[in-house]
Amino acid sequence: MVTEVVKAKELQKLDPVFGQLSFDNHEQIVFCNDKDTGLKAIIGIHNTVLGPALGGTRMWQYNSEWDALNDVLRLSRGMTFKSAITGLNLGGGKAVIIGDAKTQKTPELMLRFGEFVHSLGGRYITAEDVGMMTSDMDLVRTVTPYVTGISEEKGGAGNPSPITAYGVFMGMKAAAKYKFGNDNLEDKVIYVEGIGNVGEALVEHLSNEGAKVFISDLSQDRLEEVRDKYGVSIYEGNNLYAEDMDIYAPCALGATVNNKTINTLKAKVIAGAANNQLADEHIHGTQLRERGIVYAPDFLINAGGIINVYAELENYGKQEIMRKTENIYNTTLEILSNAETNEITTHEAAFHIAQSRIDTRKKER
C-alpha cells in the first residue's frame, strides 16, 4: 500500500492533472470561468455507462483550486456508484462552484453556470448540494432543461434533503439491527455532525424514535434552533469522535474518518449523509472493519436525494420515491452480510455490486 501511495505521488508530480490521486477514469472534466459574474466552477463527469451523469452542485469556499478539483473528482465518482447500487439508470457527475454561497451566490452567477451545464447537451444533469437551494435550481431551469431538484410549484419533486434523511435513517436502522440485533434506536446515543438540510431532518426522525441525540455544527444559531425544536443536546466538547456513543452520523462534509480520527473513534456504527466519509476508502474501510465498527457505506444510504430527483426524469410519484428509499434498509442489510461472508469491507461489498452492474451494461452495449 505504501509503495502504491509513493507511486501515485510520483505520478502526480509528472502528471499533475490526470495523475491526481482522485482521478479515476473520469470521462470529462469541464472548467467553467466567467469574469463578469465571478463564476469559477468545475463539472466532473465520471461515468455515463448507465445514463446521463447526474449529481448536485456544491458551492464552497475551497482553500485552493486543487482542493475544489479533488472534491469534484471524488464526488462525481461517488455518484456513479450511488446510482448504480440504487438501480437507477444514471451515470455519475457533480459540479463545484468556488465561492461563499452566503455572499457570492448571485442570480447572474447561477444563470451563467446553468448555461455551462446546458452546453454539455444533457451529458451532465445538475441538482442541489451543499450551498444550493431549490430556488437556485428553479433559476437554472430558466436556461437549461438539464436540471433536477426543482420546486414542487414549478413541477419538480421538491427539496431532496428530507428524502435523503429518510434513507439515511433507514440505513442507520439496518446497521443498528446488524450490530445490536435490533433496529429500534430508542435510547441509543447518536451524534449528528452537521445539522444542515439533511442533518436536521435526520435529527427529527431520531428524536421521534427516542434516541439520545447530540448535535454539532459550525453555526451556533443553527445549533440553538435545532436544539429548541427537537429537545436534543448540543455537543459542547472539542473532540466529538472520541465520545462514547452508539452511532456517529456524519452529515457535514466528507473525509471525517481519517488518519487523525480513526483511532479515537468510539462509535459502534457509522451511518450518515455526508459523501466520501472515508478519507481513504481502502485504508480506513479496512481499519473500521478490524475494529468491529459497522460502517453503512455513504453512497448507499444517502441515495434518497438522487431517488427523489430521478423521479423528475422518470415521472414517478411520491409513493414510488418512498418505496425505493425505504428499500435502502434491505440493501444495507444485504451489503453488511455480504461483507462479512466475503471478509471484505462494507465499502468494498457495495462497490463490487455497483461496479458489476456497470460492467454488465457496458458488455451489453
Indicate if 94 belongs to the active site.
yes
Q: Which of 83, 197, 345, 346 binds ligand NAD (CB under 6 A)?
A: 197
Q: Which of 44, 99, 171, 194 binds ligand NAD (CB under 6 A)?
A: 194
Q: Which of 83, 126, 216, 287 binds ligand NAD (CB under 6 A)?
A: 216
* CB nearer ligand NAD, residue 223 or residue 358: 223
**305 is a site residue for ligand NAD (CB under 6 A):** yes
On whether the CB atoms of residues 26 and 93 are closer than 8 A, the answer is no
Sheet strands side by side (includes 247-250): 233-234, 212-216, 189-193, 247-250, 269-270, 294-295
Binding region for ligand NAD (CB under 6 A) out of 3-11, 62-70, 112-120, 269-277 = 269-277
* CB nearer ligand NAD, residue 273 or residue 336: 273
**76 is a site residue for ligand NAD (CB under 6 A):** no
Q: Which of 43, 251, 328, 336 binds ligand NAD (CB under 6 A)?
A: 251
* CB nearer ligand NAD, residue 223 or residue 349: 223
Q: Which of 170, 198, 249, 262 binds ligand NAD (CB under 6 A)?
A: 198
Binding region for ligand NAD (CB under 6 A) out of 13-21, 83-91, 245-253, 336-344 = 245-253
* CB nearer ligand NAD, residue 11 or residue 255: 255
**297 is a site residue for ligand NAD (CB under 6 A):** no
Phi-psi region of 233 (alpha: psi -120 to 50; beta: other; left: phi over 0): beta
Residue type, 130: V
C-alpha cell at 326: 425505504
**1 is a site residue for ligand NAD (CB under 6 A):** no
**Interface map 143-172 toward ligand NAD (x if CB under 6 A):** -----------------xx--x--------
Q: What whole-number distance in Å separates Cα of residue 305 and Cα of residue 59?
A: 17
Q: What whole-number distance in Å separates Cα of residue 346 and Cα of residue 301?
A: 12
Instruction: Give, as one character, the DSSP assignment of residue 344.
Output: S
Q: What whole-number distance in Å separates Cα of residue 336 and Cα of residue 341?
A: 9
**137 is a site residue for ligand NAD (CB under 6 A):** no
Question: Which residue of the set 82, 94, 105, 173 is catalytic?
Answer: 94
Measured CA to CA in angstroms, residue 266 lies from 96, 108, 241, 242, 290 at distances of 33, 46, 7, 6, 13
Minimal distance, residue 106 CB to ligand NAD, in Å:
18
Nearest residue to 326 via CA among 174, 196, 129, 128: 174
On whether the CB atoms of residues 134 and 158 are closer than 8 A, the answer is yes
Q: Which residue is nearest to ligand NAD (CB)?
A: 196
Residue with cell 448555461: 115
Radius of gyration of the chain from its Cα atoms, rounded to whole angstroms: 20
Minimal distance, residue 277 CB to ligand NAD, in Å:
9
Q: Which of 20, 275, 325, 332 binds ligand NAD (CB under 6 A)?
A: 275
Burial 82-110 (b: 16+ CB within 10 A, else e): bbbbbebebbbbbbbbbbebeebbeeebb
Which sequence positions are flagged as catalytic? Answer: 94
Residues near ligand NAD (CB under 6 A): 129-130, 160-161, 164, 193-199, 216-219, 222, 251-254, 273-275, 302, 305
